[in-house]
Chain A
C-alpha cells in the first residue's frame, strides 16, 4: 500500500527538493517547490496520524529494506505523528507567510539558497521525529541545526552573525553531549534502534554506564531545548533572525528536541526508571520553575519585541518541561498539549511582529507608538495572542495551563498552581507593555504613514490566531491525541 511508503516520502522528498532548489535557485520556482513539498509532507503526516489513531498500530518503515534492529527504522506512532503534523503544518504556513518578508529582508541573489536551507531544516526536524534510530536522530539533528545556523545568519543585522555563531557553539556542544550519551548506551547494549535499546537496557539500567549515558543525553538535549539555564543562545538567535525564520524556529525547533527527550525518558529508559528512580523530575521541576520566572522577568525588560517574545519562549518551554516533572499522566498531557498550543500562539505572535517589522522597519518597542491605530488588525491579533499567552479561558493557553494545574493538584502540589497563577501576572506585564505603547500612545509627528502588513502575511497570522481560539474551545484534536500518546508512553508498551 502507498501509506506504507509515507514515512520515507515525508522526510525523503524535502531532502531531494532541497538539492533541487540548490540547482534551480530561481526565487519563485524555489518557493513553489518548497511550498509543494511542505504541503505534501503535511498531507502525508496527517494521513499517517489518522491511520494510527484509527487502527492503533505504529507505522514502521525499513530504510533500504534492511530490517531493524540492524537497519535504520523510520517509526511513526501517535507521539511522532502528532509532532510531524505540527512541524509540517508550521513549515507550510510559514512559507506562505514568509514570501513577502523574505523579499524585503533577504538579498535577491541568495533567496534560492534561503529556500534550500529552509527545506533542509524542515527535513532535519521531521527526521528527528520520524526516526527510530538514536544515531540517525543525531544526523538529522545536525542537518536541521546547521541549516538553522545559516538561516539565522541571513538576518539583516550584523548581530545575526554573532547570534548564529553563539548558537553554533552551544548547539554543537548539545548535539555532541547527546551523541556521547548514545555512544555509552550503544557500548553496553550494542544496538541503536530505540525500541531494541529499551529492551536490552531494561536489565542494565542500574549500571554506571547507563546512568552516565542518560545524564549525557538529558543534558545535551536540554541545551537544544533551551531549558533554563542553558537558554543563552535562544534570545539572540530569535531576535536577529529574519522574521519568517523566527516564526518557524520558535514554533518547531525546541519542540522537536523536547520530543526526543520525552522519547528517551519514557520509551528508552522507561517511566519506572527515569522518573521514579532518578532525580530527573526534581531537577527538571526546579529548572522549569526557574525558567518560567527568569524568562518572564527578563521579557519584561526587553526593548526589542522579538527578544521579548524569545524570553517568553524560554518561560513557555518551562511550562512544557514542568509537565514532565509532574510525573503523572495529566501533567504529561498538559505538556504535550502545550507543545502544540505554544507553537500555534508563538508562531502567530512572531508572524504579527514580522508584519510590524516590515512596515515600520524596526522591532523596538519605542518605535511602536501608535501602531495600534495604523495597523488595527495586526495589533488586535496581537492582543488575542497575548490573551492566549496569559491563559484566558477560551484560548489555547488556558487549556494547557488547566491540565498542568490539575496534574500538580493530583500530586497535592498546590504551590505549583500558585506559581502558575503568579507567572501569568508576569505575562500580563510584558504583553501589557506592548499593548500600552501600541494603543495608548500617539505616533510621533513627522513619522512616515504606515498601513497594514501585506495580505498574505496578515492572513496566515490570523489563521493561527483563530486557531488559538478554536483549539481553546474544541480540544478534541490536541487533548485527544495527547491523551492517547500519554497512554502509550506511560504504559511503556510501544
Chain B
C-alpha cells in the first residue's frame, strides 16, 4: 500500500510536476544561453508554466462549462481561464517587444550574442 500512495502522489500531481519542469527548463535556458532569441524562447517557456499552474486546478473531472442549467450540478471554475487569457496576451506582448528589441540590437551591434553585445564598448 505504501508504494500505491507514493504512486498516487506522483500521478495525482502530474500537472504540478509538468509546471515545475517548465519553470526549471525555462529558467535554465535563460541562464545558460547567450543567444538573445534563445533567451526569449526560454522566457516564453517559463511564462507558459504559469498558464498550466492556473488552468489545471480549475478543471473538475466530470464538471461542465459554467452554464446555468438544471441538468448539471458540477462546474469547472471559469475564472482561471479568464486570467490566463490575460496572461497569454501579456506573454505575447512581452515576446513581441523582446523580439523587436533584438532586431534593433542586431541592427546596432551586428550580433545577437549576449557576450559580444555586452563586452562591446565601455559599459561604465
Q: Which residues of A pack against B, CB within 8 Å? A: 135, 138-139, 142, 146, 149-150, 153, 158-159, 161-162, 164-165, 168-169, 172-173, 176, 179-180, 183-184, 186-187, 192, 236, 302-304, 307
A168-B94, A176-B46, A186-B54 known; A304 vs B124 contact (CB < 8 Å): yes
CA distance A192 to B83 in the complex (A): 10
Q: Is the CB of B124 within 8 A of A165?
A: no
Smallest beta-carbon distance A178→chain B, Å: 10
CB within 8 A of A149: which of B90, B101, B108? B101
Smallest beta-carbon distance B40→chain A, Å: 8
CA distance A149 to B96 in the complex (A): 12
Q: Is the CB of A172 within 8 A of B43?
A: yes
Q: Is the CB of B97 within 8 A of A146?
A: yes
CA distance A173 to B23 in the complex (A): 10
- Which chain A residues lie closer than 8 Å to B86 at the CB level? 135, 139
Interface residues of B in 53-70 (CB under 8 A from A): 53-54, 57
Q: Is the CB of A146 within 8 A of B94?
A: yes
- Which chain A residues lie closer than 8 Å to B49 at the CB level? 180
Interface residue B123 (Cβ < 8 Å from any Cβ of A) = yes
Q: Is the CB of A307 within 8 A of B124?
A: yes
- Which chain A residues lie closer than 8 Å to B46 at the CB level? 173, 176
Smallest beta-carbon distance A191→chain B, Å: 10
Q: Is the CB of A169 within 8 A of B39?
A: yes
Given contacts A162-B118, A183-B50, 4 further A-B contacts (CB under 8 A): A139-B86, A153-B101, A176-B47, A307-B124
Q: Is the CB of A142 within 8 A of B90?
A: yes
Q: Is the CB of A169 within 8 A of B124?
A: no
CA distance A229 to B54 in the complex (A): 29
Interface residue B25 (Cβ < 8 Å from any Cβ of A) = no
Smallest beta-carbon distance B17→chain A, Å: 15
CB within 8 A of B87: which of A161, A179, A307? A179
- Which residue on chain B has the smallest CB distance to residue A235? B123
Interface residue B24 (Cβ < 8 Å from any Cβ of A) = no
- Which chain A residues lie closer than 8 Å to B27 at the CB level? 173
CB within 8 A of B50: which of A146, A180, A187, A303? A180
Q: Is the CB of B43 within 8 A of A158?
A: no
Smallest beta-carbon distance A301→chain B, Å: 8
Smallest beta-carbon distance B9→chain A, Å: 13
- Which residue on chain B has the smallest CB distance to residue A142? B90
Q: Is the CB of B50 within 8 A of A176?
A: yes
Q: Which residues of B pack against A, CB within 8 Å? A: 23, 27, 30, 36, 39, 43, 46-47, 49-50, 53-54, 57, 80, 83, 86-87, 90, 93-94, 97-98, 101-102, 104-105, 108-109, 117-118, 121-124
Q: Is the CB of B104 within 8 A of A135?
A: no
- Which residue on chain B has the smallest CB distance to residue A164? B101
CA distance A165 to B109 in the complex (A): 13
CA distance A303 to B122 in the complex (A): 10
- Which residue on chain B has the smallest CB distance to residue A308? B124
- Which residue on chain A has the smallest CB distance to residue B86? A139
CA distance A169 to B40 in the complex (A): 8
- Which residue on chain B has the smallest CB distance to residue A188? B57
- Which chain A residues lie closer than 8 Å to B30 at the CB level? 169, 173
A149-B101, A176-B50 known; A142 vs B108 contact (CB < 8 Å): no
Q: Is the CB of A158 within 8 A of B108?
A: yes
- Which residue on chain B has the smallest CB distance to residue A301? B124
Q: Which of A138, A176, A303 has the most CB of B within 10 A?
A: A176
- Which chain A residues lie closer than 8 Å to B23 at the CB level? 180
- Which residue on chain A has the smallest CB distance to residue B56? A187
Q: Is the CB of A135 within 8 A of B105?
A: no
CB within 8 A of A302: which of B54, B57, B121, B124? B124
Smallest beta-carbon distance A50→chain B, Å: 34
- Which residue on chain B has the smallest CB distance to residue A150? B97
- Which chain B residues lie closer than 8 Å to A303 at the CB level? 122, 124
* A–B complex contacts, Cβ < 8 Å, 26 sampled: A139-B86, A142-B94, A150-B97, A158-B105, A158-B109, A159-B123, A162-B109, A162-B117, A162-B118, A164-B101, A165-B105, A168-B98, A168-B101, A169-B98, A172-B43, A172-B94, A173-B43, A173-B46, A176-B46, A180-B49, A184-B53, A186-B54, A187-B57, A192-B83, A236-B123, A307-B124
- Which chain B residues lie closer than 8 Å to A161 at the CB level? 101, 104-105, 108
- Which chain B residues lie closer than 8 Å to A180 at the CB level? 23, 49-50, 53
